[in-house]
């Protein structure tokens, strides 16, 4: 095929994975979703399906209208009113679940707390009263810049209680990043902490917060939680300690009933180069969508101990640590620190300690654990686990199988869940009681979700082919735009394919209709006119027993346009001895064909990743092409690129 004939071919489908895992019969017997009719029901009556889910929430004024779709803007349950914090807290306490644990919180240094729904409600009410005392009114924005401590979900819920939209900024982001988000949202109050713990060190959050506030004009007050207890810079008259101000408030706060479409939060997505986009999420539809997906996909039961190991600063934390689980009255685990502090078995120690039954994490974590070796989980009793989840990147079949076997003991279904900050809730996913799993596939759209794979011209690609993932019907937790930027909203998501949401991901469907996510389309490589997905080449590399993780990019090449350059991290015990790179190249050829043979392979101990664990292929591309590096502010560990750059300067072409 030449580059001319590949017009219309968005992406090629090369990799095939044939292993299948039907739901274990014991699991299926008691699963929350046992009847595949749910798909037909939702397809035939989208509004009826979601209205039924919405009926499980507590409304102040019940809605009469389900959906108004004035593309690209949706309104869900428009004439209803409710309060999000009441749905997450008060109603569970009223129902007699006040003493149920809402969060088992585990601090990095080893301190821990159990917080019941009643305690969380009371602290939320106190915090809400404190915010009011600081001048926050319904509609005012509040910025939150905190470590993973209980005050973080408390602050979010307190904002929801008084109808003040919040924006959480990752505790790992710089003062500049925080300042930009404060400026765009015009936040009136900033909530932060004296510091946080990470890998045994103290992160100087308050100092960053001060620098950010100095670069913006909207912040009037800074509320500071105590975590590390060390001394911090202080601005009298502006800064207030949480224990003092919140501690003295009443433990009741009358909740503000808000319109269904009242803004709940803004979450900024760091675009690659451009200014971050403020993704707008509203109240009722978001809560309905996150609660229903949480319950059905994670099969949540009253006595589950559920652990989503993301950071709350990422959308996964918003939807699946805070709002979905709390709306369902679920007991969650919240962990402050890193997986290797003090040792590489920290997560498995937590699973054992709290008898975690459902674990939700990212492929990057799983591949890191593969690299560290099975001896770390082997030290712990993890028989409490019954379901595993994955999110954030395509999970390579080999990593899926390792997770299933080494963490799940071969008995737990693995739900690979595809979604985005913009979608608010999981959209492509198995339902673990009815879906036969294929390692590496996110399987099927959630009931009621319309997803398609289209070519360059927007025509649906037949089963077996690959292309661009689009969403064809509105869903309740969908974004309601980009804050103050209607044009950018339309341009980014709705202009590429008329009337459909462009996700920016490549995908293929196999003959059975299973969806396989293939990475961001910006990362697609073009080799001799073939458009090759990063995911497929990476998965074929990871299927070699010596490989833990791989990232591939296209490097400019005089002959083929681009040539595949692979960065490879080996599993514990392997070294990149002579011959391994040619062995890996031939391994890829054997798995998916000679067109995908990497021209260059470079072994590296780490890959550059964002704080949410996504591989930053853009930086690898810059390194491999000898370009100056673009924006590195969202990197989790800035030293990684320097290490790789130094090594690549001495590298050579293998081909
Ligand atoms: C939840 C989240 C969104 C991007 C998305 C994809 C990638 C997420 C999966 C996945 C393959 C998955 N929000 N992505 N989940 N790719 N399989 N199960 O990650 O806004 O931070 O990122 O993440 O590329 O577009 S996000």
Residue 16 within any structural domain of the chain: no
At residue 645, the pLDDT reads 79
**Whether residue 457 sits in one domain with residue 577:** no
**222 C-beta neighbours (distance < 10 Å), count:** 22
Q: How confident is the model at residue 1 (pLDDT cuts 50, 70, 90)?
A: very low
With pLDDT > 70 as the criterion, what percentage of the chain qualifies?
Answer: 97
At residue 70, the pLDDT reads 97
**Whether residue 529 sits in one domain with residue 625:** yes
Separation of 420 CA from ligand 1 center, angstroms?
5
Residue 41: CB partners within 8 Å, gap ≥ 6? 48, 49, 447
For the chain, the 3-state helix, strand and coil shares in percent, each to the nearest 5, are 30, 25, 45
**Whether residue 548 sits in one domain with residue 581:** yes
Q: Each residue of 517-557: pLDDT tens digit?
A: 999 999 999 998 889 999 999 999 999 999 999 999 999 99
Across the chain, what does the average pLDDT equal?
94
**Whether residue 202 sits in one domain with residue 126:** yes
**Whether residue 505 sits in one domain with residue 452:** yes
Residue 224 within any structural domain of the chain: yes
Separation of 392 CA from ligand 1 center, angstroms?
4
Angstrom distance (rounded) from CA 418 to CA 174: 28
Q: Is 280 exposed, middle or buried (0-12, 13-18, 19+ CB in 10 A)?
A: buried
Q: Which of 479, 509, 539 is the last residue of a domain?
A: 509
- Check: CB of residue 221 under 8 Å from CB of residue 196: no
Instruction: Report the nearest atom of ligand 1 relative to the CA of 390.
Output: 18
Identify any residues that bridge with 609 across adjacent strands, giving them in sequence order: 615
Residue 8 within any structural domain of the chain: no
- Check: CB of residue 598 under 8 Å from CB of residue 585: yes
CB of 503 within 6 A of ligand 1: the answer is yes
Residue 369 within any structural domain of the chain: yes
Decide the pairing of beta strands 142-145 and 101-106: unpaired
At residue 654, the pLDDT reads 55
Q: Is the pTM of this model over 0.85?
A: yes
Q: For ligand 1, pick from 268, 399, 419 the residue to mutate: most ligand atoms within 8 Å of CB.
A: 419
Residue 49 within any structural domain of the chain: yes
Separation of 318 CA from ligand 1 center, angstroms?
15
Q: Give me the residue label for tokens 């299948």.
A: 20
CB of 612 within 6 A of ligand 1: the answer is yes
Question: What average pLDDT score do residues 55-59 get?
Answer: 98
Residue 13 within any structural domain of the chain: no
Instruction: Report the nearest atom of ligand 1 relative to the CA of 314.
Output: 21
Question: What average pLDDT score do residues 21-25 get?
Answer: 98
**510 C-beta neighbours (distance < 10 Å), count:** 17
Instruction: Report the nearest atom of ligand 1 relative to the CA of 418.
Output: 18
136-142-147-150 Cα dihedral, nearest 10 degrees? 50
Provide the token pair at 441: 């596939």
Q: For ligand 1, pick from 11, 312, 392, 421 the residue to mutate: most ligand atoms within 8 Å of CB.
A: 392
Angstrom distance (rounded) from CA 91 to CA 570: 50
| CA-closest residue to ligand 1 atom 16 | 393
Instruction: Report the nearest atom of ligand 1 relative to the CA of 429.
Output: 18
At residue 653, the pLDDT reads 54
At residue 7, the pLDDT reads 47
Q: How far apart are the first and last CA of the chain?
A: 22
**Whether residue 335 sits in one domain with residue 239:** yes
CA angle 606, 612, 613 (to 5 degrees): 25
Question: What average pLDDT score do residues 67-81 get?
Answer: 98
Angstrom distance (rounded) from CA 83 to CA 89: 10
Peptide bond into 342 cis (omega under 30): yes
Separation of 395 CA from ligand 1 center, angstroms?
10
pLDDT at 271 over 80: no
Residue 132: CB partners within 8 Å, gap ≥ 6? 162, 253
At residue 252, the pLDDT reads 98
Q: How confident is the model at residue 289 (pLDDT cuts 50, 70, 90)?
A: very high
Q: Each residue of 582-597: pLDDT tens digit?
A: 999 999 998 888 999 9
| CA-closest residue to ligand 1 atom 8 | 392
Residues belonging to the chain: 655
Residue 226: CB partners within 8 Å, gap ≥ 6? 193, 194, 241, 242, 243
Half-sphere exposure of 439 (CA within 13 A, CB side): 21
Provide the token pair at 180: 């930009």
Instruction: Report the nearest atom of ligand 1 relative to the CA of 269.
Output: 20
Between 623 and 637, where is the model more confident? Answer: 623
**Whether residue 85 sits in one domain with residue 125:** yes
Q: Each residue of 160-215: pLDDT tens digit?
A: 999 999 999 999 888 999 999 999 999 999 999 999 999 989 999 999 999 999 99
Residue 7 within any structural domain of the chain: no
Q: Is 244 exposed, middle or buried (0-12, 13-18, 19+ CB in 10 A)?
A: exposed
* Complete DSSP assignment for 392-420: SSPPPHHHHHHIIIIITTTTS-EEE-B--
| CA-closest residue to ligand 1 atom 13 | 420
At residue 80, the pLDDT reads 98
Q: Any idea what the CATH number is for the domain that residue 98 is in?
A: 3.40.50.12780
CA angle 492, 496, 502 (to 5 degrees): 65
**Whether residue 607 sits in one domain with residue 502:** no
- Check: CB of residue 258 under 8 Å from CB of residue 83: yes
**Whether residue 557 sits in one domain with residue 486:** no
Residue 526: CB partners within 8 Å, gap ≥ 6? 3, 532, 554, 561, 562
Q: Each residue of 203-238: pLDDT tens digit?
A: 999 999 999 999 999 999 999 999 999 999 999 999
User: Whole domain around residue 163: which residue ranges?
Assistant: 25-509
Residue (of 387, 388, 337, 397) closest to 367 by Cα position: 397
**Whether residue 386 sits in one domain with residue 239:** yes
Residue 516 within any structural domain of the chain: no
At residue 5, the pLDDT reads 40
- Check: CB of residue 467 under 8 Å from CB of residue 461: yes
**Whether residue 565 sits in one domain with residue 448:** no
At residue 2, the pLDDT reads 36
Q: Any idea what the CATH number is for the domain that residue 634 is in?
A: 3.30.300.30
Provide the token pair at 92: 């569970």
CB of 394 within 6 A of ligand 1: the answer is yes
Going from the C-alpha of 202 to that of each of 199, 530, 637, the distances in angstroms are: 8, 48, 16
Residue (of 283, 294, 342) closest to 317 by Cα position: 294
Q: Which of 509, 533, 568 is the last residue of a domain?
A: 509
Angstrom distance (rounded) from CA 125 to CA 327: 17
| CA-closest residue to ligand 1 atom 3 | 420
* Complete DSSP assignment for 541-587: HHTSTTEEEEEEEEEEETTTEEEEEEEEEEPTT----TTHHHHHHHH
158-163-164-168 Cα dihedral, nearest 10 degrees? 60
Helices 175-185, 205-214: crossing angle, 10 deg rounding: 50
pLDDT at 500 over 70: yes
How many domains does one find in the chain? 2
Q: Each residue of 399-417: pLDDT tens digit?
A: 999 999 999 999 999 999 9
Decide the pairing of beta strands 451-454 and 305-308: unpaired
Q: Which helix (H) or strand (E) holds 561?
A: strand 561-570
CB of 517 within 6 A of ligand 1: the answer is yes
Angstrom distance (rounded) from CA 249 to CA 70: 43
Q: How confident is the model at residue 610 (pLDDT cuts 50, 70, 90)?
A: confident
Separation of 478 CA from ligand 1 center, angstroms?
15
Angstrom distance (rounded) from CA 221 to CA 190: 7
Give the DSSP letter of residue 590.
Answer: H
CA angle 512, 515, 520 (to 5 degrees): 155
Instruction: Report the nearest atom of ligand 1 relative to the CA of 316.
Output: 1
Decide the pairing of beta strands 101-106 and 112-116: antiparallel
At residue 138, the pLDDT reads 98
Residue (of 430, 347, 352, 346) closest to 390 by Cα position: 430
Decide the pairing of beta strands 67-70 and 358-361: unpaired
Q: How confident is the model at residue 572 (pLDDT cuts 50, 70, 90)?
A: confident
**Whether residue 564 sits in one domain with residue 441:** no
Angstrom distance (rounded) from CA 484 to CA 643: 40
Instruction: Report the nearest atom of ligand 1 relative to the CA of 421.
Output: 20
């Amino acid at each position: 095929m030449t580059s001319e004939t590949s017009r219309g071919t968005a992406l090629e489908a090369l990799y095939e994975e044939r292993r299948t895992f039907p739901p274990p019969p014991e699991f299926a017997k008691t699963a929350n979703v046992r009847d595949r009719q749910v798909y037909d029901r939702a397809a035939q009556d989208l509004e009826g399906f979601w209205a039924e889910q919405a009926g499980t929430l507590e409304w102040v004024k019940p809605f009469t209208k389900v959906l108004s779709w004035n593309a690209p803007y949706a309104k869900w349950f428009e004439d209803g009113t409710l309060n999000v914090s009441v749905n997450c807290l008060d109603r569970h306490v009223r129902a007699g679940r006040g003493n149920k644990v809402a969060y088992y919180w585990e601090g990095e240094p080893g301190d821990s707390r159990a917080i019941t729904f009643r305690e969380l409600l009371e602290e939320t009410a106190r915090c809400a009263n404190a915010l009011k005392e600081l001048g926050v009114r319904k509609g005012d924005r509040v910025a939150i810049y905190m470590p993973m401590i209980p005050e973080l979900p408390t602050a979010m819920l307190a904002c929801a209680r008084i109808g003040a939209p919040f924006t959480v900024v990752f505790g790992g982001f710089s003062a500049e990043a925080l300042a930009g988000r404060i400026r765009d949202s015009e936040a009136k109050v900033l909530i932060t902490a004296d510091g946080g713990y990470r890998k045994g060190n103290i992160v100087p959050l308050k100092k960053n917060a001060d620098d950010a506030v100095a670069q913006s004009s909207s912040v009037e007050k800074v509320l500071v939680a105590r975590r590390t207890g060390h001394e911090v810079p202080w601005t009298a008259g502006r800064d207030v300690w949480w224990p003092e101000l919140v501690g003295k408030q009443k433990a009741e706060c009358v909740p503000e009933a808000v319109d269904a479409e009242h803004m709940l939060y803004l979450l900024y997505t760091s675009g690659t180069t451009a200014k971050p986009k403020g993704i707008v999420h509203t109240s009722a539809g978001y809560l309905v969508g996150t609660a229903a997906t949480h319950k059905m996909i994670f099969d949540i039961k009253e006595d589950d101990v559920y652990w989503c190991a993301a950071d709350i600063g990422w959308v996964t934390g918003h939807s699946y640590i805070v709002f979905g689980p709390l709306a369902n009255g679920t007991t969650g685990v919240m962990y402050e620190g890193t997986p290797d502090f003090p040792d590489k078995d920290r997560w498995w120690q937590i699973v054992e300690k709290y008898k975690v039954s459902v674990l939700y994490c990212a492929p990057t974590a799983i591949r890191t654990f593969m690299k560290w070796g099975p001896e770390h989980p082997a030290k712990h009793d993890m028989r409490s686990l019954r379901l595993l989840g994955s999110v954030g990147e395509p999970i390579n079949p080999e990593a899926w199988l390792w997770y299933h076997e080494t963490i799940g003991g071969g008995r737990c279904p693995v739900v690979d869940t595809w979604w985005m900050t913009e979608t608010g809730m999981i959209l492509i996913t198995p339902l673990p009681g009815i879906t036969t799993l294929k390692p590496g596939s996110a399987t099927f759209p959630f009931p009621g979700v319309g997803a398609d794979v289209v070519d360059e011209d927007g025509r649906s690609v037949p089963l077996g082919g690959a292309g661009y993932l689009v969403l064809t019907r509105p869903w309740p937790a969908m974004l309601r735009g980009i804050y103050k930027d209607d044009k950018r909203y339309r341009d980014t998501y709705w202009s590429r394919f008329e009337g459909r949401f462009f996700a920016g991901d490549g995908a293929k469907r196999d003959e059975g209709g299973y969806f396989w996510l293939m990475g961001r389309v910006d990362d697609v490589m073009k080799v001799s006119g073939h458009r090759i997905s990063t995911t497929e080449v990476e998965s074929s590399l990871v299927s070699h027993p010596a490989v833990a993780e791989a990232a591939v990019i296209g490097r400019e090449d005089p002959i083929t346009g681009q040539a595949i350059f692979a960065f490879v991290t080996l599993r514990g015990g392997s070294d990149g001895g002579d011959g391994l790179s040619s062995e890996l190249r031939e391994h890829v050829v054997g798995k998916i064909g000679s067109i995908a043979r990497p021209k260059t392979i470079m072994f590296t101990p780490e890959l550059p990743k964002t704080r949410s664990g996504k591989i930053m292929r853009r930086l690898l591309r810059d390194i491999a092409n000898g370009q100056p590096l673009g924006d590195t502010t969202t990197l989790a560990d800035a030293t990684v690129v320097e290490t790789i750059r130094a090594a690549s300067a001495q590298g050579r072409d293998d081909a």
